[in-house]
A and B are shown apart, each in its own frame.
Chain A
Amino acid sequence: MRIYERLGEGFREGGPDYLPSLAVFHCRWCFPDAERVRAMLPERAAEKALLVRVDCTARIEAEFVAKAFSEGYDGLLVLGCELGECHHLTGNHRALKRFALLRNMLSLLGIYPERLRLMLVPPFDEELVRASISEYVSELGELGSFRYLG
């Protein structure tokens, strides 16, 4: 089922009030609890966010990103451990390099790279995480719908 069929009346095609749909991938080692992650999202965005727990940020391949966008999600957020804290030692290094390239690739293909965000954050500083997510969501809102604007 495509996301915009599921969105119902909340779906608008962009503009200042636009509420973006989010795909959130969270590392199981620093953000094990999906409900806790959902609670950290801005209230209305949380309702239509898709949460996926992954074993490591390095698990997130280009396929995931491609699928999220082709299914119509407006943004893809990845929450992972800080550098040096990875359970698999270098998993987040790999993710960092991969996402650096992916963001450039998205831009070359005509997708705003801001739609893809990797946050390597301290999981216990909840306020910080919450604040940066809401900043990201409002940025996404300004970009508008992926389907509509690009």
Chain B
Amino acid sequence: MEERREEQARERARSMLLSGEARAVLGLRGGRGQVLPYLFSRPEELGDLSLSGIYPLAKVALRLLEKWEGGRLAVVSRGCDERHFVELEKKNALDTRRVALIGVACTEEEARECGCSRPYPNQVDAGHPLADADFFDRRELEELLGMKVSERRRYWTEVLSRCIKCYGCRNSCPLCNCVDCRLEESRWVRVGEIPPEYPSFHLIRAFHLADKCVDCGACERACPMHIPIRRLHRLIGEEMKRLFDYRAGRDAGEKSPLLTDLEEGPFTTEGEDEVARFMEAVAREVGWVGL
């Protein structure tokens, strides 16, 4: 089964290289006792293409495309990788004409390990999509949601005090790609101090990712102190869904609700149009706008 999936991915990669649809294929290379990202540029190498690791390849693709003037790059991507590319496209972070995806559906075992809610991309080239299956364990979220605010504070201060500010969460995240990172500015996060002040570092990062995070779990896997940061992002993602009916990574045409443009037009809470009703609902939800 697994071999068949790998064979399908290799076949697709080979045909893309041979037809010139892509100049090179970015994927994971196994077979040497370890699995690492590798740029396959010759069809003969594709025998080493492996699907046995989980790695945020979109981050690598971004760096490559910055430097690389050549043609199109094919990327072997799981569901989460594809959602990364959707978000990157939204943010104009990369030219989608230069990227082609080789979609890989995750196996049940992989999906379970990741706790994934949607373990397959929209376009599947290898494997069988496990549709309608949610492997995410909500119990840890329920536990947090059931706490009082002060208990949550105790929980998070304790957990976040382990942070050694290695920036692993930021560095592993394909969607954390600002040129100037706010987390490095002494104005917002004090330099040379660990743990970072509660809630500065983590609140800032969580907010920056609120409308982008696709719940891939790369940050949590990268964290050397085992901070369960993913559950925070997951909870925020659910708030985005509840407040704005928005889910990151769904569709590149969807605009982040946290942005506005002038076409939105000035409106008041008394307006008739849909936007006005929406704003009124948001205002009522938080119960504090105006007086």
Contacts of A98 in B (CB 8 A): 258
Known: A83-B269, A109-B156. A149 touches B150 (CB 8 A): yes
Q: Is A18 an interface residue (CB 8 A)?
A: no
Q: Is the CB of B149 within 8 A of A107?
A: yes
The total of chain A residues at the interface (CB under 8 A) is 46
CB distance from B289 to the nearest CB of A (A): 6
**B176 close to chain A: CB less than 8 A:** no
Task: List B contacts of A86 (CB < 8 A).
Answer: 266
Within A81-100, which residues are at the interface with B (CB < 8 Å)? 82-86, 89-91, 93-94, 96-100
Cβ of B210 and Cβ of A97 under 8 Å apart? no
- Per a CB cutoff under 8 Å, which of B200, B204, B258, B288 touches A94? B258
Q: With A70-B199, A118-B289 as given contacts, are A94 and B259 in contact (CB-CB < 8 Å)?
A: yes
- Are B262 and A103 in contact, with the CB atoms below 8 A? no
A89 touches B265 (CB 8 A): yes
Q: Mark B208-221, 1 if CB is under 8 A from A, else 0.
A: 10100000000000
Find chain B residues with CB under 8 A from A1 CB.
none
Chain A residues within 8 Å of B240, by CB: 101
Which listed residue, B157, B239, B259, touches A108 by the CB 8 Å rule?
B239
How far does the alpha carbon of A69 sit from the alpha carbon of B257 in the complex, in Å? Answer: 25
Q: How far is the CB of A33 from chain B (nearest CB, A)?
A: 21
Q: Please tell me which stretch of B85-93, B96-104, B278-286 contacts chain A, meaning at least 4 of its Cβ atoms lie within 8 angstroms of it.
A: B278-286
Whether B243 lies near A89 (C-beta < 8 A) is: no
List the A side residues contacting B260 at CB < 8 Å.
58, 90-91, 93-94, 97
A-B contact count (CB 8 A): 142
In the complex, the chain A residue whose C-beta lies closest to that of B282 is A100
Given contacts A89-B265, A101-B243, A109-B199, contact A128 B149 (CB under 8 A): no
For B207, B258, B289, the residue with the greatest tally of chain A CB atoms inside 10 Å of its CB is B289
Select which of A66, A110, A119 is within 8 A of B188 by beta carbon: A66
Interface assignment of B206: CB less than 8 Å from any CB of chain A = yes
Closest CB-CB distance, B148 to chain A, in whole Å?
9
Q: Sample 22 A-B pairs with CB under 8 A, ordered by A number.
A: A62-B208, A66-B203, A69-B203, A70-B199, A83-B268, A84-B269, A89-B266, A90-B261, A90-B265, A93-B267, A101-B210, A101-B243, A105-B207, A105-B210, A106-B203, A108-B152, A109-B203, A118-B288, A118-B289, A119-B288, A121-B290, A149-B150
